[in-house]
Chain A
Amino acid sequence: MAQIKIFGYADKISVKPGDTIQFHVSADGTSTAEAHLVRLIHGDEHPHGPGFIDEEIDCAANGTWQVEKQFTQVGAFLEVADPDRKLALDGSITLCAFIWPTWPDVGHRQCLLGRWDNDRNHGYGLGINPSGRLEFWVGCGNEVDYLQAELPLQKQAWYFVAATFDARSGRATLYQEGVVSRYNSLLSKVAPVEYRSHVSEMFRFRQNNLPDTPFLVAGSRDWHALRGHFVSQLYCGKIDRCGVFDRPLDHEELDAIRSGGQPPLDGMVAYWDTTKGYTDRGIGDLVVDIGPNRLDAEGYNRPVRAQTGYNWNGRNDCFRLAPHQYGGIEFHADAMIDSNWNATKTLELPETLRSGAYAMRVRGGDGEGLAEEYIVFFVRSRMPTARIALLFSTATYLAYANERFATDGQIVQPMAGQPPTISEVDIEIYENPEFGAGCYDTHADGAGVCYTSYRRPMVNMRPKYRIAAFDLPWNFPADLSILAWLEHKGYDYDVLTDEDVHLEGVAAMAPYACILNSTHPEYHSERMLDAHEDYIAGGGRFICMGANSFCCNVAFRDDEPWIMECRKTGGHWIAWAARPGEYYLATTGQMGGIWTGFQRWGQKLVGNTFAGEGFAHSQPYRRMPDSYDPALAWITEGIEGEIIGDFGLGNGGAAGIEIDCYKLGFGTPPNTKLIASSGGHPDNYIAHDEEGAHAHQGFSGTHNYILRADMVYFEAPNNGAVFATGSIAFGSALPINGFENNVSQLLSNVVNAFVRPGPLPGSNRPRKSTAGLERVAP
């Protein structure tokens, strides 16, 4: 009997009672599954904590679901809308493009552009054959004629390539010329590399076009008995301006295009000007045809725009400055931003549902291992009444979605200070590119993954999951320890997500007197960061529960908030580096990378931010002199001794994994008090010095006092305040000893003070109204 595997996702990550949510499930080995809505309370199964806790919730969708195997189209490509079949050319033809292949020797055919049916061998195409050579082919169903270049293509080199076919004579030619400049390719002109190839041959027949074959760029149509039509022969690399003509262009005409001239109008059927459509705020998925038929192309699985083109001259580092030099559209054969599965079940959420973290639990067979799925989503309050909100870092969950760095990341073991601990589901996603990757991964062709989405199964946004690289609950499952603490303490709270804050700004936060965020609030769009700043400055009281806080800049489109763009640049702690000239987010036009690059250090918002990381061992905090200040004694009330948090589910201490520190020079508010601090972390903790200093001996934990988690507190305007833990491990210390411990006590002291209206304890400020905490009308 086949092993039962269940995977799924929801179409929304944040909903309100009464909203409709769709669940998309794929199953192997079974046609039915048992589904039940659960409210998630604790997600870490560590035996020193309370273990996994959920609560079954009645709803109309509970019961037996019919499930089926669903297929996922991976790979980025462009599809041309051509209802009048202008591109079904059955006579003479020219195909041309600027290309920058990243993996010409992958070993299978890659289609650059064409109207080709790979299953039935009809149509025409220009591509790269399994030996890495440019190839042109035409097919009539029974037979295919091919013409290949004399030498393989070089990776990461710009070429202008073309194929012409004279249907009257049967002569086919290939035109291949390097357009390598001082800036645009891997090699310079000092490397004695031959790029040029010109070959010609007589074909025996003309192409025959099927009526429904789509014209594709970076792939070709295929067919499978179970899944039907799909796209194969996916290309890895960039394509700049490309076109189709209904006559064979001559050598001089092709030379003129190669040299930057306008393509001839005579015979032009389509010419996609990949530099058209840029605005100051980015570019979308539509690729504009400037030819007579306006056959625009649409990207699938988000081909990467805002990439340098063949004529990039190194002077400008952003498409906003020179859009005509940013014609590069980058394709990856394993790109995936939406599983696009059929909906398995639609549920109108009960109106009585309380705000919280929920999942549709779906089990097949015995429900063990891969036969159990939790499709996680968050329910907000329709009419906020609680004074507390727990803000889940869904942007960070997206960044890490289905990461595979335990198995693919060269640097991960030295960073983690341990070998990975790999589970069954890690192996499942490693073997199957259909799950897509996260922004910590690289594509198989070596480029960094800059798009991620929640419209696909996210196996690490589940309760119980432990990240392989560090053998810890990571992000969402770790954040449930904070939720469980709120539950245990009996606080009335709602939940929010990053998506809510991005879409609604400070209005999403304003109803709450006190907001706690997550163990790892790393990724923020500009709107999210602005909302946090306005909330705190307007009198909100904010508890930054984690570390590596407010570091990375990401972007979302308003109409597709499930997809996030992330470009890695700046700092020396990034998983991959955006290529020169490709630092800017195609979604917004803003530079990507870390907020440090914008003078928006996390310290300016919450008093501390990234000091370093090490993962394998955590430490306690030691109280600092400020904690003994009578005006601040309320924070540590009930805590005996100097040590706080010498325990925890996150490697035995409340301070560790990733840690943040206070730094006046990076904008820590000058009135910030240092309540407690860790130190003496192991040497696999390395300082992430953002001052641009050279790496040098002594960057590591036992040598460098910078490597510490600072627990900080400061008052903000309008009776606002911030308390920040500076440690990812803090949240995982809360559940120890049935939530009765000095970390829990300290957090209670802070939350109790923060939810109380009026001035903060020990405040020497004049009493002011809480005008900044205007509640949003329900």
Chain B
Amino acid sequence: MLPLEYGRSEDRDIIVRDRFDGFRREFLRTLVNPEVIEEHRQSALGQHSERLERLLIYFRQRPLEQRYAVRAIEPFRRYQVVRLSGRRGVPPRLVDDAIYTSANDARHGLFLRCIRDLLET
């Protein structure tokens, strides 16, 4: 967002939040490596290494409209990854056609999307 656009925002908190987010993302990008991704693939839930834990805490704290969720098409059999709308009453939308056969696989697919978002923006 350009400085001028910030000037039109009534809530200055957003400026601080976005600056903090920029610093945080810059640091978090340095934590991404194949070991972290493999660690998550093997165990999507529970206690993780500090490196992975920091990334996960960040992903779980994103503004709602930037967060993903798992959609259970058929519990214990078929799952997809969706993105939350962040707007009350507006359902999450599908992000791709990938079908996962377990919730943990879907959580890992979701994690890879978060990593991609972090590295590409």
Contacts and interface: CB of A to CB of B under 8 A. Distances in A.
Closest 9 CB pairs of A and B: A413-B60, A617-B46, A682-B47, A616-B45, A421-B70, A420-B69, A414-B60, A427-B91, A423-B72
Contacts of A427: 91-92
Interface string B64-108: 100111111001100100101100111110000000000100110
Interface string A637-671: 00000000000000100000000000000000000
Given A406-B69, A617-B47, A423 B107 contact: no
A47 B107 contact: no
Interface of A: 45-47, 406-408, 410, 413-414, 417-423, 427, 430-431, 433, 444, 466, 468, 471, 616-617, 651, 682-683, 701-702
B76 A414 contact: no
A418 B92 CA distance: 17
B67 A421 contact: no
A679 to B, nearest CB: 12
B57 A414 contact: yes
28 contacts: A47-B76, A407-B69, A407-B84, A407-B92, A413-B59, A414-B57, A418-B44, A418-B107, A419-B60, A419-B68, A419-B70, A419-B110, A421-B72, A422-B70, A422-B72, A422-B92, A423-B71, A423-B72, A423-B75, A431-B89, A468-B69, A471-B70, A471-B72, A471-B103, A616-B46, A617-B47, A651-B45, A682-B48
Contacts of A431: 89-91
Contact of A466 (B57, B72, B92): B72
Most buried by A among B59, B64, B82, B89: B89
Contacts of B82: 422
Contact of A682 (B46, B71, B84, B91): B46
B35 interface: no
B67 A413 contact: yes
Contact of A46 (B56, B76, B107): B76
A419 B67 contact: yes
B91 to A, nearest CB: 5
B91 A617 contact: no
B53 interface: yes
A608 B29 CA distance: 43
A682 B53 CA distance: 10
A420 B70 contact: yes
Nearest to A615: B45
Interface band, chain B: 20 to 34
Contacts of A45: 75-76
Given A466-B75, A471-B103, A683-B47, A421 B69 contact: yes
Contacts of B70: 419-422, 471
A748 B48 CA distance: 36
A421 B110 contact: no
A433 B89 contact: yes
Most buried by A among B46, B70, B75, B82: B46
Contacts of B42: none
Contacts of A413: 59-61, 67
A447 to B, nearest CB: 13
Interface of B: 44-48, 53, 56-57, 59-61, 64, 67-72, 75-76, 79, 82, 84-85, 88-92, 103, 106-107, 110
Contacts of A444: 88-89
Contacts of A651: 45
Contacts of B106: 421
Contact of B89 (A47, A418, A430, A702): A430
Interface of A is mostly: loop
Contacts of A471: 70, 72, 103
A408 B60 contact: no
A430 B79 CA distance: 19
Nearest to B46: A617
B64 A410 contact: yes
Contacts of A421: 69-72, 79, 103, 106
Contacts of B53: 683
B21 to A, nearest CB: 15
A420 B107 CA distance: 9
A358 to B, nearest CB: 23
Most buried by B among A47, A406, A414, A444: A414
Nearest to B64: A410
Nearest to B79: A421
A47 B103 CA distance: 13
Contacts of A47: 76
A617 B89 contact: no
B95 to A, nearest CB: 12
Nearest to B84: A407
Most buried by B among A46, A407, A701: A407
Contacts of B92: 407, 422, 427
Given A431-B89, A616-B46, 10 more contacts: A407-B64, A407-B84, A413-B67, A418-B45, A421-B69, A422-B72, A423-B75, A431-B91, A617-B46, A682-B48
Nearest to A682: B47
B103 A422 contact: no
A419 B91 contact: no
B100 to A, nearest CB: 11
A408 B88 contact: yes
A616 B107 CA distance: 12
A422 B57 contact: no
Contact of A419 (B46, B57, B69): B69
B42 to A, nearest CB: 14
A74 to B, nearest CB: 12
A420 B110 CA distance: 11
A622 B114 CA distance: 37
Contacts of A468: 69
Most buried by B among A406, A422, A616, A682: A422
Nearest to A408: B88
Contacts of A466: 72, 75
Contacts of B67: 413, 419
Contacts of B44: 418
A417 B69 contact: no
B88 A422 contact: no
Contacts of A46: 76
A684 to B, nearest CB: 8
Nearest to A407: B84
A419 B75 contact: no
Contacts of B79: 421
Contacts of A702: 47
Contacts of B48: 682
A316 B68 CA distance: 44
A422 B64 contact: no
A420 B64 CA distance: 12
A417 B110 CA distance: 14
Contact of A417 (B45, B71, B84, B88): B45
A589 B67 CA distance: 41
A420 B59 CA distance: 13
Nearest to A406: B69
Contacts of B88: 408, 444
Contacts of A419: 60, 67-70, 107, 110
A471 B104 CA distance: 11
A701 B79 CA distance: 30
A422 B60 contact: no
A468 B69 CA distance: 9
B79 to A, nearest CB: 7
A422 B107 CA distance: 12
Contacts of A701: 47
A471 to B, nearest CB: 6
Contact of A414 (B61, B75, B107): B61
A176 B45 CA distance: 56
Nearest to A412: B60
A735 B62 CA distance: 37
